[in-house]
Structure 1
Amino acid sequence: MDLIDLSRVTDQKATFDGFLHQVRDRFGFDHVAYLGANPVAGIMHGYVTYPEEWKQLYIACDFHLIDPTLTMAQRSIAPVSWERLEHNENFRKVFSKAREYDITSQGMTIPVRGPFGDTGLLSVTLDADATEWRKRISSSIGELQSVAVHMHDAVMNSDALSGILRRTQLSSRETEILQWIAAGKSQQDVADILGISIRTVEVHLRSAREKLYSLTTPQAVARAIALHLIYPL
């Protein structure tokens, strides 16, 4: 099943919600949630698959101000497993209520950073034993990081001004290398195809990651595809 290309839609809220439901069903999670902060437009964006009753209670109780799955992940550059979080008073406040809506405290949050101070957090949950949870995350974490970037960029670009500011210029060589990586080639494969050293490939990939404000090469590929700088194969 192909996921929605969020850069090509106009009915934004319905499509963002639908996209998260697709992600949930594709990877077999209980719930998927996205929270993004756009300082350029001064807007917070939130899309979730949680029950409507829980969404209303969460907002009414200002849980977003104390939810450790958000506060900890906002300070991280790597995915944050909720099992690593301290089970302090704030954790208990949020998840004692969440359990009433069959929402587990077993989850992971993937942070995304943008070029203008914008941040995004994609969270997934699954009520399963520890072995099944780790297996599910291990098999999907790479794709989930790409999904997080895809979702974040689409949400941020939904504001016209932000979309204009976020335009990125890659060199022809950086674009070429990212396109080969998107096609499933290894860095050594790319070096052989282009007749350059693997060190040169690594230098161009590092430059591309920096220009695309990406922590990893898969995130850079996902962002380049979302911006139509390269194309999925």
Structure 2
Amino acid sequence: MADFGFDRLIYGYTRFGKPGALGDFEDAVFLNNHDPEYFNRFIGERMFLKAPILRWARDHIGACSWGEIWRDAESLSEAERRVIAFNRAMNVSAGYSISFPAPSPRSFALISLSARRGLSQDDVDATWANHGREIEAMNNMAHLKILSLPNTTRRGRLTRRQREVLEWVGDGKSNQDIAVILGVSVPTVEKHLRLAREKLGVDTTAQAILKAAFLNQIHIGEYALAR
């Protein structure tokens, strides 16, 4: 992206949104190469939730010029104006964002491409006019690649044993069966399942299996997912 003038990126993705909201912050994946000070404030302090591009992305798929939204003063709330002012103060003043197609109503993914310092929004728009389709295609490919990788959210990754017991439960094995297969006691299996549920932030083992599968941390058959 730097070859096109975009030297700072923020990618965000969740499969665990809720109606009208993005869901638990702990379940989201964020990738970025911004300065830590900017990222910690914009993402860590949840400023992005008031960003006008997020409002746009909730109802649109594809690419959007920041200028298209930032210059529409009548549509901006006071909170959105504060976010724009913060971005400009941090030299994040021109760019594009791409909202990706979602496989389910609970999924949401967005990448924001910040232009190199010194480039205006008009400069960026001119670049997009010439290379926008190529840039959008490259980002969609990157998004699909990220979806295929094991995702480690703020909750952290499951241990090898936790993944094993969840996969065996997903295959229909009882705790007693798993204990025999792994050569451990039933209480040990139950402990691994409890710790897996806690790490994933869910209440039931069935929810843990589904969530771990969505995060690509375990692999189970289509039959188990359908159940």
TM-score calculated relative to the size of structure 2: 0.54
In the aligned structure 1, how far is the partner of 2:99 from the partner of 2:44?
25
Where does the alignment leave 5 or more consecutive residues of structure 2 unmatched? 18-22, 151-211, 223-227
CA distance in 1, matches of 2:43, 2:6: 23
2:213 pairs with one of 161, 183, 192: 161
Aligned partner of 2:51 in structure 1 is: 67
- Equivalence for 2:137: 146
TM-superposed deviation, 1:131: 4.0
Counterpart code for 2:65 = S
- Can you give the 5+ residue segments of structure 1 that lack an aligned partner in the other structure? 1-22, 168-233
* Residue of structure 1 equivalent to 2:96: 108
| Superposed counterparts of 1:47-58, under 5 Å | 47-58=31-42
Cα shift at 1:60: 4.4
Q: Distance in 2 between matches of 1:53 and 1:69?
A: 21
Amino acid of the structure 2 residue aligned with 1:157: S
Deviation at 1:102, TM superposition (A): 1.5
Matches within 5 A, 1:63-212: 63-85=47-69, 86-87=72-73, 88=76, 89-104=78-93, 106-117=94-105, 118-126=107-115, 127-159=118-150, 161-162=213-214
Give me the whole-angstrom Cα distance separating, in 1, the residues matched to 2:96 and 2:121.
13
Contact in 2 for aligned 1:74/1:121 (Cα 8 Å): no
CA contact 2:95–2:121 (8 Å) conserved in 1: no
Counterpart pick for 1:38 among 12, 15, 18:
15
- The 1:59–1:34 alpha-carbon spacing in structure 2 relative to 1, beyond 3 Å, is closer
Q: Could you say what secondary structure the match of 1:116 adopts?
A: coil
User: What's the Cα RMSD here?
Assistant: 2.8
Q: What is the deviation of 1:128?
A: 2.3
* Aligned equivalents of 2:30, 2:11: Cα separation in 1: 6
Decide which structure has the larger Cα Rg and report it: 2
Q: Is the 8 A contact 1:34 1:123 kept in 2?
A: yes
Aligned length: 142
Cα distance, 1:135–1:53 mapped onto 2, change above 3 Å: same
Specify the code of the residue in structure 2 equivalent to 1:115. Answer: P
Q: Aligned equivalents of 1:59 and 1:111: distance in 2?
A: 17
Contact 1:39–1:116 (CA<8 Å) still a contact in 2?
no
- CA separation of 1:116/1:97 partners in 2, compared to 1, >3 Å: closer, same or farther? same
Percent identity, aligned pairs only?
Answer: 18
SS of 2:100's partner is strand
